[in-house]
Amino acid sequence: KAGVTQTPRYLIKTRGQQVTLSCSPISGHRSVSWYQQTPGQGLQFLFEYFSETQRNKGNFPGRFSGRQFSNSRSEMNVSTLELGDSALYLCASSLGGVADTQYFGPGTRLTVL
Amino acid sequence: ELKVEQNPLFLSMQEGKNYTIYCNYSTTSDRLYWYRQDPGKSLESLFVLLSNGAVKQEGRLMASLDTKARLSTLHITAAVHDLSATYFCAVDIPGNTPLVFGKGTRLSVIA
């Protein structure tokens, strides 16, 4: 079974631009969660989508948004990029049930200049 | 608010030695996860602990959960260089809440 895939793997943007990241979950998984990883703040939860609906949301500004499609693929968008948005963005998929293991993708490394 | 604390944050240990990483959390939960992350790579699931007293072992790693103490431990036996990585614990609470991660323990095994 193919794992979680994320595209692109690396991205360089400048302040003020916007960016869209994509995540394809493991086949059969209906939940996709997004995390931001930085050296200072560690791993922080952004949001989770399940069956095209946002089920949970972390404490991030409205510039961070996401969506999920009917095939469970998910996209995350960050508008008006700031230097502090430079991070590794990880998505994780799971079946979506209670205590189901989340399987992480390789991540997208975003650098904002 | 659920808080998860790991210690130590950095650990340098000699090959062949034993050591334990601790993970404390602030809110009642019986669901705890351990992940491994190699430099520049993603997170790999190691263990899922779903009840008080749960113990799981894989190779030189053994994880346990004490929900009454709100504590999980990851014990490393006879460390080898290949275990060098950052180890994260994560907790969620019933109700489909998101995972909350500890800061991670960066383990370096030296000869």
Mind listing the pLDDT tens digit for each residue in B2-61?
899 999 999 999 999 999 999 999 988 878 999 999 988 889 999 999 888 899 999 999
Residue A111: how many CB atoms within 10 A of its CB?
13
Distances (CA, A) of A55 to A31, B24, B59: 9, 26, 36
Handedness of CA A55, A104, A65, B97 (dihedral sign): positive
Closest CA–CA distance from residue A51 to any residue of chain B (Å): 14
Q: Report DSSP state, residue A59.
A: S
Quote the CA–CA distance of B88 and A39 in Å, as a whole number. Answer: 13
What phi, psi does A8 have (nearest 5°)? -75, 170
Chain A residues lying within 8 Å of B104, measured CB to CB: 42-43
A39: cis peptide before it, omega within 30°? no
CA distances from A27 to A5, A22, A72, B20 (A): 11, 15, 9, 36
Could you tell me which residues of chain A have a Cβ less than 8 Å from any Cβ in chain B?
33, 35, 42-45, 48, 55-56, 58, 90, 92, 98-99, 101-107
Chain A positions touching B102 (Cβ under 8 A) are: 42
- From start to end of A1-113, where are the E strands? 5-7, 10-13, 19-24, 31-38, 42-50, 53-57, 64-68, 74-78, 87-94, 103-104, 108-112
Chain A hits for B41, CB-CB cut-off 8 Å, are 106
Q: What is the pLDDT of residue B109?
A: 96
Strand B19-25 with B4-7, pairing: antiparallel
Rg (CA), chain A: 13
Tens-binned pLDDT, residue by residue, of chain A (113 aa): 679 999 999 999 999 999 999 999 999 999 999 999 998 899 999 999 999 999 989 999 999 999 999 999 999 999 999 999 999 999 999 988 777 889 999 999 999 99
A60-95: b (≥16 Cβ within 10 Å) or e: beeebbbebeeebbbbbebeebeeebbbbbbbbbbb
Minimal CA–CA distance to A8: which of A111, A102, A81? Answer: A111
Indicate the length of chain B as a whole number: 111
Q: How far is B98 from chain A (nearest CA, A)?
A: 7
